[in-house]
Chain A
């Protein structure tokens, strides 16, 4: 009886589950992962240059697109193809298999696209500037002075009016995309931010990175609202549920990069971790399905893990 109690206590403490609910097998390690808007498929850009799509219901691969250069999925149906020699980036519509635009003067690095697909942002890893491009014309609309270390994260607000770049020099810069005005510079962090997202309602900005802490800013005033500690590892990916209530964070172990790592689910109202699961190692990307019922996770292995989040 005492042993059973001990087991129960251990089970209550250790909330990790033995395995994901569904595994999508990949021939190469996936990086960025997205659900399709209807939630029926998952797409990922992989290290071998392929962009692969799976059906969620069956877990089977349904599309394998081979890209000549280095390609990164930057939206559910948009990928950026980098040509480091010629400093060009091509944005492609994956569904239509059509080049949306080619921009010249964009060294390889981070790329982001606004939700309405009108703006593309690029930040080269060695270039000390961030550029915002008009997707329709292929011309830069803003060239913004960035930090000295290269962008560690780059993303737009849901309405496309704000662009955030985090830099390996530890600073974060927030710009208005129309005017190019820098509305906020965060300079008091002592570690780079590797992951960030606005809440779906656009009211909060959430970022996390080297220092294992989740930072939540008001997206209007950019005042720091809260700091959430407890993930316990460097955070390299995060996702916010479509209802804005749950944050999920995943990272890597700087002590042993092949060690299993934690993926933590946070209740954003209370700021508490409500559940954590184990990932193989080095979480590259996390994505909620549009209905919030699934979490997709890329974490260093040749697979995508799908976790069913429906109450059981």
Chain B
């Protein structure tokens, strides 16, 4: 079975028709393969609700975790692109979440930020793992992303390690209707800490955001 990379290499070196002939696939099949893989790769990020705790005008801050914070350190990285794989130029990202015991800061801007991704569309935020709270018992980070020429996206990122999912995402991803889309539940990498205080044990997730053209 040809994988996407092999197909891509064949297409680049010989042209699509030649690749089709060489692999025994018809031109239609090659086209269908391309369309399918491209759609998968660039599927727009699923939407979620905004929730009641959004606050406008958050400051641009990339380190939300303050020294001495009790929460488990979490690094969130990702890219903001559109469905064509292009940079969503001028994108602005609001991110906000509850603290480690599930409290939102409604008076200030703790664990809230609004930023523009870098020239490659990449972003990185140091924060803490959000806590659970009664009304939404799954840990999550809220996102609101705008970019000129693109549809505004409101979504949320969840964590595969969340006890709420009981270690079985396939079975429990939509438990109690909390998470609307399975693709919003992110795999979590856990890192043991180093010896120094600046090398704490931490978690990392990657959340790539794919916007639709308006």
Contacts and interface: CB of A to CB of B under 8 A. Distances in A.
B14 interface: no
B49 A125 contact: yes
Contact of B49 (A126, A189, A190, A191): A126
Contacts of B53: 210, 254
A168 B50 CA distance: 7
B49 A257 contact: no
Interface string B104-134: 1011000000000000000000000000011
A149 interface: yes
A149 B50 contact: yes
Interface in B1-58: 47, 49-57
A197 interface: no
Contact of A169 (B47, B50, B134): B50
A150 B49 contact: yes
Contacts, number: 51
B67 to A, nearest CB: 22
Contact of A170 (B54, B103, B107, B152): B54
B152 A254 contact: no
A234 interface: yes
A212 interface: yes
A218 B9 CA distance: 67
A257 B133 contact: yes
B154 A254 contact: no
Q: For the side of the interface on B, what is the size category? A: 20 to 34
B56 A190 contact: yes
B135 interface: yes
A298 interface: no
B55 A210 contact: yes
Nearest to B146: A148
B175 to A, nearest CB: 19
A210 B154 contact: no
Contacts of B50: 148-150, 168-169
Contact of B52 (A148, A192, A212, A258): A192
B91 to A, nearest CB: 15
A212 B49 CA distance: 23
Nearest to B133: A257
Interface in A161-218: 168-170, 189-192, 194, 210-212
Interface in B136-179: 144, 152, 154
A255 interface: yes
A152 interface: yes
B152 A148 contact: yes
A212 B134 contact: no
B106 A192 contact: no
Nearest 10 CB-CB pairings of A with B: A149-B50, A168-B50, A170-B56, A190-B55, A190-B56, A254-B106, A255-B103, A257-B134, A210-B106, A190-B57
Interface of A: 125-126, 148-150, 152, 168-170, 189-192, 194, 210-212, 234, 254-255, 257-258
6 contacts: A126-B47, A149-B154, A168-B52, A210-B55, A254-B53, A257-B134
Interface of B: 47, 49-57, 103-104, 106-107, 133-135, 144, 152, 154
